[in-house]
Structure 1
């Protein structure tokens, strides 16, 4: 409850409201565009006709606080708040920028107008629709995230350093140990192959390559299968396909 104002204070506040009323856009209702609105929602900062003012009251004071411009007492903070918000045109540009397209055709229907006013002020669906249309601007070049592209040198080095499966090439180990003739292999005969080590160019990894030089005869004497063939007087199997095409 406001304390009782003097007549001079009321007249001064009424003159201030009349000055706000002269602002372009405040001479029509902020909701239905009816002329000469003599009511106002000082919490929302807009001038209203008497019918729209009654619909604002139905929404509750937590949404809109309504007063008559001529019959109610206004305080200086309420008038200053109306002035700060800028009036009907300024408020509608934020809460309902497309007012002409959103305004219902049946303005005389109170139920239609009540739904429109609640959608506008309580649910704010017209403001959210307008903001969603402009809230996703196209991504600029500054917003794009550029992934690093590997250089040619790094790509080449990765290809050289990556393991390449290749027959008869063994890197980083003693190939003689890897493919040394086993003493129990029955398929080996006089056409054994000797393993030699060759070193590639300095800028590549060391490689061990199989050559076709036959083993010495001394190496064959350790093979028990060949020893058994010698005792039985059997010839060596020189046409063994495993020997002709090793690996």
Structure 2
């Protein structure tokens, strides 16, 4: 069978007993980075040295058939560098190929950066959406955020420390500066840190630079399906028709569910 195994996202103490047992008995391990897997074996004090096969984004299509064939004869343990394989990591193509071939697929659950960040962010957890890595290009990032502006569920993103400030700025533009969020850094590690506040506040706090792996959690919209930029445009239209800005913001807030203060500030900024 194919066995997807979650590995620690930082602290080796989070390795499950089932993961340790699987590594002690594995004969074949498909690993996102074989060097990372070797360090994991050493860190957990495991003397077993299984056959390591690299399985990453650039070779998964070519390797899937080979691994599925192997899994007909023996168990193939699949590892990503951290967390659960297939979740913004290699493995989906292999799983799809195994399912199509009638090969059993199972999982050893364990650490998850997505769920850990969601649990400690202090934002609603009843419904959420995982959006994966934020697009690198500015235009694609703006387009993606515009499409999510009316999303009611809490959103979870992966982002690099080099781009987190720019991403928070773009989110503030698309969602409104006062939308609540949390920047979760170095989860489960020695220097774990969670920064909570509005998108604008967080952008200012990380502008000087941050280090480590980051999971960004953003509150969903309270609006009734109307994107924030469209609501701001409506406020400006009412003002052009003679309404006072404060009154226009309050009216559109009542219609859309967006914050009256956010609408007022955004419209004021557009007017200059």
Q: Same fold (TM over 0.5)?
A: no
- Please state which structure has a larger fraction of its residues in strand: 2
Name the TM tier (shorter chain).
Answer: under 0.3
**TM-score normalised by the chain length of structure 1:** 0.21
**TM-score normalised by the chain length of structure 2:** 0.19
Higher relative contact order (CA 8 A, sep 6+): 2
* Greater Cα radius of gyration, structure 1 or 2: 1
